[in-house]
């Protein structure tokens, strides 16, 4: 297993290009199952999760060609010749559950493995299943698989009430509703930019959708969808992650393609902590106003609140802030696994349940640390950028799921960082 070695090297300067969003691409790709016509995605990120979704769609009979060094995904689901998503692929990536809605809507039946949990939580899919049942699906759980079917051969429009704004359940229901007979109303829907991006793509394919980006989405089902070409929206989590690099070790960095509207709550928090963020022609320019960051309190919430996917990275910043910060993680039940690793670097963090209290220290000290999940891994790299000495982050396969060319992007702004191949 490879590791990444980071050595604190002072202020950064330069530009970092931001890629297409992993979490948009992972819901846009299954949308190909809704149509016999080709669906082409541009600005796709080059990530292992995208390769996993490619393999999954391929196992169902879809063709996915990766062009232009992986930035273009040309997909065609003219023939779906297998209706079962196997456990051995689904267990590697929870987003695999997103083939269920489209496959059921297009084919009238689907068998998808339950994804199982992951490091950050149990992550059930009950809301996905209830949403599809509200559209007339019949579901049976057997041997760890969901066997879904539509007795009438087609989903029927209905009203779906989400008890809380689940991103994936909203995406599954939205895709399924595009081909249902009649009108579907999603109440309490998630509002993330990735859902708006999916709706934009589905409308290009001929879907009739209103209200995406709000908590009520209305879909008029159609008989069939066409193909389309669609650019994947900028990755706001990669954007926020790299915005924290100059915040944690000084200097000034411009994030190409960055937009404040994708991260308004996060930008407000950084402003409160003493970080200056300016929208430029090319993206976002970021630098801290003074030598040290002010402590701030953070509570993660569904969009438009502070993103849970930036909580670990923000914690790394607050480890060297002046004062005490309190972080509340309200979305996942076990998303502080980066805390003990940051404490190996000299951080002072007290974790109780969903609350982490961080008392800032003057400097962190480089140390060998272990990545435990995708966002925790990059939090440790951020801490290493600011630490005295050398930090070795092991198990970087977690990182490869969600960040393309991390070493190249950070080297490009002056970081001392290298990837060490496993012996
Ligand atoms: C998406 O996961 C993202 N993944 C996650 O990003 C992100 O953290 C999450 O949304 C929240 O923003 C992708 O888009 C591929 P949820 P998802 O359904 O859809 C519970 C990353 O680092 N829940 O909004 O799985 C669930 O357990 C990843 O890129 C149910 O109880 O998130 C969690 O506690 C990590 N029943 C909470 O809701 C359900 O049926 C939020 O989950 C579904 C979810």
Report how far residue 120's alpha carbon sits from residue 114's, in angstroms, rounded to the nearest whole number: 17
Residues sharing a CB contact under 8 Å with residue 21, sequence separation 6 or more, in sequence order:
45, 193, 194, 197, 232, 233, 234, 235, 236, 237, 238
Q: What is the mean pLDDT of the chain?
A: 96
Whether the domain at 3-19+234-420 and the domain at 22-231 fall into the same CATH topology: yes
Please name the residue whose Cα sits nearest to atom 4 of ligand 1. 23
pLDDT of residue 326: 98
Take residue 64 and report the two structure tokens written for it: 């996915």
Give pLDDT tens digits for 318-374. 999 999 999 999 999 889 999 999 999 999 999 999 999 999 999 999 999 999 999
Atom 27 of ligand 1, residue of closest alpha carbon: 123
For the chain, the farthest-separated pair of C-alpha atoms sits apart, in whole angstroms, at: 65
- Cα dihedral: 296, 300, 303, 305 (round 10): -30
Host H or E run for residue 181:
none
CA–CA gap between residue 206 and residue 213 (Å, rounded): 19
Can you tell me which atom of ligand 1 is nearest the CA of 23?
Answer: 14
**pLDDT computed for residue 79 by the predictor:** 87
* Minimum-distance ligand 1 atom for the alpha carbon of 374: 22
Contacts of 352 (CB under 8 A, 6+ apart): none
Confidence of residue 115 (pLDDT cuts 50, 70, 90): confident
Whether residue 148 is predicted with pLDDT greater than 90 in this model: the reply is: yes
- Fold classification of 22-231 is UDP-n-acetylglucosamine1-carboxyvinyl-transferase; Chain (3.65.10)
Q: How far apart are CA 196 and CA 205, in angstroms?
A: 14
Bridge partners of 286, per DSSP, are 253, 277
121-151 as b/e, with b when 16 or more CB fall inside 10 Å? Answer: eeeebebbbbbbebbbbebeeeeebbbbbbe
The Cα–Cα gap between 11 and 423 comes to 32
98 touches 50 (CB < 8 A):
no
Q: Is 267 among the catalytic positions?
A: no
Nearest CA to ligand 1 atom 10: 167
pLDDT tier, 91 (very low <50, low <70, confident <90, very high otherwise): confident
The CATH code belonging to domain 3-19+234-420 is: 3.65.10.10
| pLDDT in the model for residue 123 | 72
Q: What is the mean pLDDT of residues 20-44?
A: 98
For residue 367, the model assigns a pLDDT of 97
Which of 85-99, 222-236, 275-289 comes out lowest in average pLDDT? 85-99
What is the spatial distance between Cα 102 and Cα 172, in angstroms, rounded to a whole number?
7
Q: How confident is the model at residue 120 (pLDDT cuts 50, 70, 90)?
A: confident
Measured N-to-C along each axis, helices 264-273 and 236-249 cross at an angle, to the nearest 10 degrees, of 10
The alpha carbon of 221 and the centre of ligand 1 are apart by a number of angstroms equal to 26
For residues 357 and 380, the answer to whether their CB atoms sit within 8 Å is no
Rounded Cα gap, residues 187 and 167, in angstroms: 13
What's the length of the chain?
A: 423
Query: Per-domain residue ranges for the chain?
Result: 3-19+234-420, 22-231
Residue 270's pLDDT is 98
Place 71 in a pLDDT band, splitting at 50, 70 and 90: very high
Neighbours of 181 (CB within 10 A): 17
d(CA 73, CA 54) in angstroms, rounded, equals 9
- State the distance from the centre of ligand 1 to the C-alpha of 125, rounded, in angstroms: 9
What pLDDT is attached to residue 266?
A: 98
Helix (H/G/I), strand (E/B), else coil: 120: coil
Q: How far apart are CA 337 and CA 199, in angstroms?
A: 34
pLDDT of residue 284 exceeding 80: yes
Q: Is the CB of 26 under 6 A from ligand 1?
A: yes
């Amino acid at each position: 297993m490879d590791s990444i070695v980071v050595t604190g090297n002072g202020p950064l300067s330069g530009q970092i290009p931001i890629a297409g969003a992993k979490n948009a691409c992972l819901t846009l790709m299954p949308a190909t199952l809704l149509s016999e016509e080709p669906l082409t995605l541009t600005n796709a990120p080059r990530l292992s999760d995208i390769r996993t979704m490619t393999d999954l769609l391929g196992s169902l009979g879809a063709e996915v060609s990766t062009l232009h060094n992986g930035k273009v995904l040309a997909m065609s689901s003219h023939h779906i010749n297998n209706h079962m998503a196997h456990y051995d692929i689904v267990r590697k990536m929870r987003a695999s559950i997103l083939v269920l809605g489209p496959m059921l809507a297009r084919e009238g039946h689907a068998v998808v493995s339950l994804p199982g949990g992951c490091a950050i939580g149990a992550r059930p899919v009950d809301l996905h299943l209830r949403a599809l049942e509200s559209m007339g699906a019949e579901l049976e759980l057997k041997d760890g698989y969901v066997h879904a079917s539509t007795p009438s051969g087609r989903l029927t429009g209905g009203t779906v009430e989400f008890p809380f704004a689940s991103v994936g359940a909203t995406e599954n229901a939205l895709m399924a509703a595009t081909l249902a007979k009649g009108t579907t109303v999603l109440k309490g829907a998630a509002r993330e930019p990735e859902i708006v991006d999916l709706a934009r793509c589905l409308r290009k394919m001929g879907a009739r959708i209103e209200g995406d980006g709000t908590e009520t989405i209305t879909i008029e089902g159609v008989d069939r969808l066409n193909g389309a070409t669609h650019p994947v929206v900028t990755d706001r989590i990669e954007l926020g992650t790299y915005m924290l690099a100059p915040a944690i070790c000084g200097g000034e960095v411009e994030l190409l393609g960055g937009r404040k509207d994708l991260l308004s709550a996060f930008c407000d928090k950084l402003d409160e902590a003493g970080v200056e963020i300016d929208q430029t022609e090319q993206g976002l320019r970021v630098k801290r106003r003074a030598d040290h960051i002010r402590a701030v309190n953070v509570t993660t919430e569904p969009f438009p609140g502070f993103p849970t996917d930036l909580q670990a990275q923000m914690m790394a910043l607050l480890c060297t802030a002046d004062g005490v910060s309190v972080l509340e993680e309200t979305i996942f039940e076990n998303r502080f696994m980066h805390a003990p690793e940051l404490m190996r670097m000299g951080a002072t963090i007290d974790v109780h349940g969903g609350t982490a209290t961080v008392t800032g220290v003057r400097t962190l000290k480089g140390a060998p640390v272990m990545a435990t999940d995708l966002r925790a891994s990059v939090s440790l790299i951020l801490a290493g950028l600011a630490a005295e000495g050398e930090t070795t982050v092991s198990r970087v396969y977690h990182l490869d799921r969600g960040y393309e060319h991390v070493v190249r992007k950070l080297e490009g702004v002056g970081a001392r960082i290298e990837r060490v191949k496993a012996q």
